[in-house]
Each structure stands twice: as structure tokens, then as C-alpha cells.
Chains A and B, each alone.
Chain A
Amino acid sequence: MEAPVATVKKIEVKGLRVSYGAKEVIHGISFDVYQNEILGIIGPAQSGKSSLLRCLNRTLDFTSGSRVQGVIRIDGEDSQKVRNVYDLRRKIGMVSPMPVGLPLSIYDNVAFAPRSAGIRSKSELDGRVERCLRQAALWDEVKDRLDSLGTKLSGGQQQRLTIARALSHEAEVLCLDEFSIAIDPVTTMRIEDVVKELRLEMTVILVTNLVHQARRLADRTMFLWNGEIIEIDRNDVIFSETPASRKTYEYVNGIFG
């Protein structure tokens, strides 16, 4: 895959430290995410990947005892000092590991975010619901039953519903947190195709346990291990025979981890 010559920094992370109580899980990491790239983040469990994502949209605020130090700039704006945290969260679409269909109709699942943002116009909501469901490759399967419950969909459909919801507030960054652990390989491939298309209009952060998924999809990949960045580089370096760190080579090739 040809890496794009992207230089616009969408997200800048500087000296980020995250701790829960006395336990520090991210030990001062710095990296950039460029506009319209897919940044893969790989690493074993407990390496701080999900905490990192939750810092980005500041939902870590909801976890009592958590503490964040360092700077995260999104579009140049310090996310810790941002005036309206809800606008910040709308900038970021978050897809969790387990599919979450809200106990609402399929339509309301997707319309929830725009409604929270104050959009009431029926035609605009209709348009958004259709567009997001199409983008998430779910429209054709559910267009005749938008009134049925989102929670009654199959796991793979619910995960695409989650993606549609993540897009529904016109996010500029899509964060996928191990989206494929609860769904079948065929649906995984469909979603990967969706992601490839989405990167044309947005920036994607793909956290994954599956090294091969990062290899297939990402432009650059970051190897996070025990809360520290071992290496972040273009995929053709990370997945080559000679990445900068021996650890990366061993992890990527399944020798440890």
C-alpha cells in the first residue's frame, strides 16, 4: 500500500501520561496523527491502547480516579482545555470492541447523536441516518425495518450500527478499538472495506490485536507496549525485516506477545 504524503497534523500528542489512582498505564508518549491517514495501533492487552483512545475524546473523564497529564491537540486545539467537550467528542467517532446497539430502534440509534446535538429537523435526520447506514454498509440489510430494535441485530450488524452511530455526528476522526474481536471474519472484511473507503474523508485510528489487520489497513503503525511507544513508522518499515526495534520485529512476527 502506498503511504500518502500527508503532513497536516490532525492530532498531536505530547508527553501523555495516564494513570488510574497510583497506577500509571501510559508513561509519557508523543506521536502525531496525520489527516486522512489510517494509523494502526498494535500491542498486547493492557498496553494502554484503549486508555489512549479514551483520552482522545475525554471519556476517560468519566472514570473516577483517572488522571491525564501532557498535551493532546486536535486540530491544534488543546483537548484538555477545550471549551465544549461535547463538540470535541462529536469530532471523534468511537467504535468499541464489543458491538453496542443502544436499546432503541435502528433509526434512533443513528439519530441519537444528531438529536443530542440539537438537530430536530426530520428531513435532516432522515438524510443522516440513511447516509451513515450506507457508509457503514448496513443500509441494504435494514432499510425496511428501521423501526425494529438495534439490540436485536446480529453481532456483525450491531458493530456496523455502532460504526454508523460513530459517523452520525459528522466525526472527523474515526477510532476503531479492536472492532473485530466479537464478529465473524466475513463481516470483519466488509468493515475493513468500509474503513478503506472512509479514510478518503476522515482520519482513522485503528487499534487492533491483530497484527495482520494493521498491516492490511494502516498507512503507519504504532507499536505500544506497556504504556510506551516502542516504535511508530510507516507500514513498510514496521512490517519489514528491519524495523528500528528488535521487539517490533518479534511482536509483528509472532515471536513474542
Chain B
Amino acid sequence: MALVLVVPLILIVSHLVIEALPLLSWDFLTTNPTAGMRKGGVWSALLGTIWLVGVSLAVAAPIGVLAAVYLNEYARDNWLTRIIHLAVVNLAGVPSIVHALFGLGAFVIFARFGRSILAASLTLAVMTLPVIIASTKEALAAVPRSFREACWNVGATRWQTIRGIVLPNSISGILTGVILQVSRAAGETAPIMFTGAVFFKRIEAGNLFAYGIRDQCMALSMHLYTVTTQVPDVPHALPYAIAVVLLGTTLLVNATSIALRVYLRSRKKW
């Protein structure tokens, strides 16, 4: 039965790669698009995606993990925490286009960040935050309560307990949850297209810091969308090649997450 799930994956990936083959090369990754998107590579889009995801993660991961630690370890079970919990669950279910509108209103217009990597990343952060909180909470809750009680019994503070026992034993689950959100953020188009991603931007090839935080940027997901729908006469292989790069990036991140989980699980201590 599980094989049924593998078949579509293999079909999709192999189809993409076969169609993209004529264009795939190292140069494709490291050169800017040229000739109105019809030639050249995806460098500015690839770097834009990396920046967007990186900044959003830098915001969402610490806040999300700390919020989950608070909710799971400190907060008492009262109406307020129940409302927060409800909010987290519902926020995770909000469609990404709604997040996009929120980001446009809150970050681009109200906070005056303009359309920029900053605004787009914050929008992505708001989108991924609830899922990071939920997955982190789950990872924390998987650490048996008896461990915590044993620590409290010997006079350890809550924080000593969290730092000494809870976090070291839930870190694999926490990281897995966070990393999976990386691939989700990388693939989203809607939240960034109103808040910071642009149709085309030329940047210095090969320079990882070619974008500033207040710049607009290109992004792979958006690039794929525009190339397939807005630009006439693109080479047949181009959208496929962009898709392969996008898919490759997320698969790479997911593979890291799986490898990390396997490694940390092998060191599981109880």
C-alpha cells in the first residue's frame, strides 16, 4: 500500500527532470534570467527564496519554540491558555492568501516596511509560526512528565528542568518541525507576491549578499508562476527546470530533516 504513495512521487520527479534536462546546469543556478525571462538562469530567484526563508525562519523559529515552551511548560491550564491554543490551531488553518493580505496590511502598509524581503519574510513567519508552535509543543509533550517531576522533586527550577532534561530530549522533534516549515515557506507564492516578491530583478551573480533586507526580491515559486503564466514564448524546458530547482531545494531541506531525525533518534535515551 505504501508503494502507492511512492509511485506518484517518482512519476512527478522523473517527469520534471526529463523535461528540464536540456537546461539543467550549474550555470542555470548561478546566472540571472535574461531576455525577458526567456534565457539565462534562476540565480536571483534562488537567492531570493533563500533570503525569504532564512529571514522568516530567523523570526519564526525562536518565537515559535519559546512560545511552545511557555505554553507547554509554564502556562497553567486556564481560559487564557485555552484561547491561545485555539488561536494557534486556527491560525495554522488560515489559507496562505489570507496571510498575504494580512502581511500587506500589517507589514507593508501599517509598519511601513514597503514591499521588501523584510515584509515578505515576516508574512511567511506569521504563516509558519503556528505550525512551529504546534509541532514544538508536540515534541515537548512527548517527554514523559515523570522526568519533569523527578527534577522538581530534587529542587530543580522549571528552567533547569527544561534545559537539562526536556529540551535535550525533544530537540529532534523540534528541529524536524522547524525544518519542515522551511520547505513549506519556500514553496508558498501567495504570501510573498503582495509583500515583496517581484517579477524581475537583476542582482550581482554569485554574491550571496546581493539582496538587502529592504529590497524587493525574486523568488523561485513566484518565478515559476510568472514564467508559466505571464511570459509568452518561453522555452519548453524552462518552467520544468525552475520546478526542479524549487523541488530540489525543498527535498534537500527535507532530507536534512529526516537525516537529523534518524540520527537523533538513534541516540534516544529511554
* Contact residue among B153, B156, B160 (Cβ-Cβ distance under 8 Å from A96): B153
Question: Is the Cβ of A112 less than 8 Å from the Cβ of B156?
Answer: yes
Q: Does any Cβ of A come within 8 Å of B164's Cβ?
A: yes
Task: Identify which of B77, B155, B156, B168 gathers the most chain A CB atoms within 10 Å of its CB.
Answer: B155
Question: Is the Cβ of B77 less than 8 Å from the Cβ of A65?
Answer: yes
Q: Give CA–CA (A213, B118) in the complex, Å.
A: 67
How many A residues touch the partner, as a band?
20 to 34
* Contact residue among A57, A87, A100, A169 (Cβ-Cβ distance under 8 Å from B150): A100
Q: Give CA–CA (A59, B160) in the complex, Å.
A: 15
Q: Does any Cβ of A come within 8 Å of B76's Cβ?
A: yes
Given A64-B78, A112-B164, residue A59 in contact with residue B154 (CB < 8 A): no
Q: Which of B130-188 contact A (CB under 8 A)?
A: 146-157, 160, 164-165, 168-169
Contacts of A100 in B (CB 8 A): 146-147, 149-150
Q: How many residues of B contact A (CB 8 A)?
A: 22
Contacts of B149 in A (CB 8 A): 59, 62, 96, 100
Task: Identify which of A59, A87, A94, A102 gathers the most chain B CB atoms within 10 Å of its CB.
Answer: A102
Question: Is the Cβ of B147 less than 8 Å from the Cβ of A166?
Answer: no
Q: Identify the closest chain B residue to A113 (Cβ).
A: B154
Question: Is the Cβ of B269 less than 8 Å from the Cβ of A151?
Answer: yes
* Contact residue among A86, A87, A98 (Cβ-Cβ distance under 8 Å from B146): A98
Q: Does any Cβ of A come within 8 Å of B270's Cβ?
A: yes
Q: Does any Cβ of B come within 8 Å of A128's Cβ?
A: no
Q: Give CA–CA (A107, B135) in the complex, Å.
A: 32
Q: Give CA–CA (A149, B157) in the complex, Å.
A: 23
Given A65-B77, A151-B269, residue A117 in contact with residue B155 (CB < 8 A): yes
Given A64-B78, A112-B164, A151-B269, residue A59 in contact with residue B153 (CB < 8 A): yes
Contacts of B151 in A (CB 8 A): 102, 112, 116
Q: Which of A84-108 contact B (CB under 8 A)?
A: 86-90, 92-94, 96, 98, 100-104
* Contact residue among A64, A98, A169 (Cβ-Cβ distance under 8 Å from B77): A64
Question: Is the Cβ of A89 less than 8 Å from the Cβ of B153?
Answer: yes
Q: Give CA–CA (A101, B270) in the complex, Å.
A: 9
Cβ proximity bits B67-102 to A, threshold 8 Å, 1 near / 0 not? 000000000111000000000000000000000000
Q: Does any Cβ of B come within 8 Å of A168's Cβ?
A: yes
Given A101-B270, A103-B165, A151-B269, residue A96 in contact with residue B146 (CB < 8 A): yes
Q: Give CA–CA (A57, B150) in the complex, Å.
A: 12
Query: Chain A's nearest CB lies how many Å from the CB of B163?
Result: 10
Contacts of B165 in A (CB 8 A): 102-104
Contacts of B168 in A (CB 8 A): 103
Task: Identify which of A57, A88, A103, A166 gathers the most chain B CB atoms within 10 Å of its CB.
Answer: A103
Query: Chain A's nearest CB lies how many Å from the CB of B245?
Result: 41
Q: A102-B147, A151-B270 are in contact. List 4 more A-B contacts (CB 8 A).
A: A57-B153, A59-B149, A112-B156, A165-B154
A interface list, Cβ under 8 A from B: 57, 59, 62, 64-65, 86-90, 92-94, 96, 98, 100-104, 112-113, 116-117, 149, 151, 162, 165-166, 168-169
Those 6 A-B pairs whose CB atoms lie nearest each other, nearest first: A103-B269, A113-B154, A90-B155, A94-B153, A89-B155, A151-B270
